[in-house]
Amino acid sequence: MTGSGPVAGATAEVVEVTGTGPIGPYTLLRVAAGGIEPGIPGQFFMLHPPGHVLPRPMSLCRVDGGELCFLIDAIGPGTRTLCALKAGERLHVLGPLGNGFDLDVPHPLIVGGGIGIAPFPYVAQVLGGGPAILGFRSAHHAEAAALLPGAEVALDPVLVTSLLPAEPMDVLACGPEPMLEAVRARAPQAQLAWEAPMACGYGACYGCVVEVDGRLQRLCVAGPVLRAA
């Protein structure tokens, strides 16, 4: 089933799961792309776990031939269902949604923390490589760094921000909120991918309202990538 999504540029489609596999504590879920465009890195997709009322927002992690790959941290019922999908099962996908990273910058530097690494393999695919610094809470979590060969890795208690170079770079960051705040303090021009619980993903439910520039805005429409300043 295919349909133009409720948002310009987004497609709603039931696609086939082609497989899953572990990467450290995370799961890489692969689906047939069908008619879904991968969009701009940092945009997101609403994946509807079968048997649940609401879809869950996920960043596109990688594009492999005709497959879209999502890196998922199973932290609750929806993500657990997504990680337990088997090849051949069907999954409703809507996207791409929201605003991604502006990659037309002279000195991009990827900064990822934990599952915040998820959008960056696709960023690196589009950029054709580039430097990356990643922070993880354990060596097991850091196995996900294999998705970004050549990345510098910091393990707790070393903070990923301690790897930020002295010279100014065009930082592209995704990770836990304290990490994003620390990056923002060091790199006011950084592009930061924020998170909020999202029920629709396209501006209809107001479930993702956050304060941006002193105004309440829907993160799914204004973001998820926002300029730090």
Ligand X SMILES: Cc1cc2nc3c(=O)[nH]c(=O)nc-3n(C[C@H](O)[C@H](O)[C@H](O)COP(=O)(O)OP(=O)(O)OC[C@H]3O[C@@H](n4cnc5c(N)ncnc54)[C@H](O)[C@@H]3O)c2cc1C
Residues forming the site for ligand X (CB under 6 A): 44, 56-59, 70-73, 75-79, 115, 118, 195-198, 224
Question: For residue 227, what is the enclosing H or E element?
Answer: strand 225-227
205 binds, among ligand FES, ligand X, none (CB under 5 to 8 A by kind): ligand FES
Question: For residue 221, what is the enclosing H or E element?
Answer: helix 219-222
Nearer to ligand X, 16 or 73 (CB): 73
What's the min distance (Å) between Cβ of 219 and ligand FES?
6
Written as one string, the DSSP assignment of 17-82 is EEEEEEETTEEEEEEE-TT----SBTBEEEEE-TT-SS-EEEE--EEETTEEEEEE---SHHHHHH
> Using the rule CB under 6 A, is 176 a contact of ligand FES?
no
Q: What is the spatial distance between Cα 164 and Cα 176, in angstroms, rounded to a whole number?
A: 16
Of 140, 119, 195, which is closest to residue 22 (Cα–Cα)?
A: 140
Q: What is the spatial distance between Cα 45 and Cα 61, in angstroms, rounded to a whole number?
A: 11
* Binder among 6, 38, 176, 207 for ligand FES (CB under 6 A): 207
* Binder among 35, 149, 178, 206 for ligand FES (CB under 6 A): 206
What's the min distance (Å) between Cβ of 110 and ligand FES?
26
73 binds, among ligand FES, ligand X, none (CB under 5 to 8 A by kind): ligand X
What's the min distance (Å) between Cβ of 64 and ligand FES?
28
> Using the rule CB under 6 A, is 203 a contact of ligand FES?
yes
Total residues interacting with ligand FES, rule: CB under 6 A: 12
* Binder among 84, 103, 126, 205 for ligand FES (CB under 6 A): 205
- Please, what is the Cα angle at 218 between 217 and 220, to 5 degrees? 140
Question: For residue 109, what is the enclosing H or E element?
Answer: strand 108-113
Q: What is the spatial distance between Cα 78 and Cα 107, in angstroms, rounded to a whole number?
A: 37
Nearer to ligand X, 183 or 193 (CB): 193
> Using the rule CB under 6 A, is 131 a contact of ligand FES?
no
> Using the rule CB under 6 A, is 216 a contact of ligand FES?
no
58 binds, among ligand X, ligand FES, none (CB under 5 to 8 A by kind): ligand X
* Binder among 153, 220, 225, 226 for ligand FES (CB under 6 A): 220
Q: What is the dihedral of CA 132, 208, 102, 214, to 10 degrees?
A: -100
Nearer to ligand X, 50 or 168 (CB): 50
Q: List b or e across 132-169, with b for residues whose CB sees 16 or more CB atoms inside 10 angstroms.
A: bbbbbeeeebbebbebbeebebbeeeeebbebbeeeeb
Contact set with ligand FES (CB under 6 A): 198-201, 203-208, 218, 220
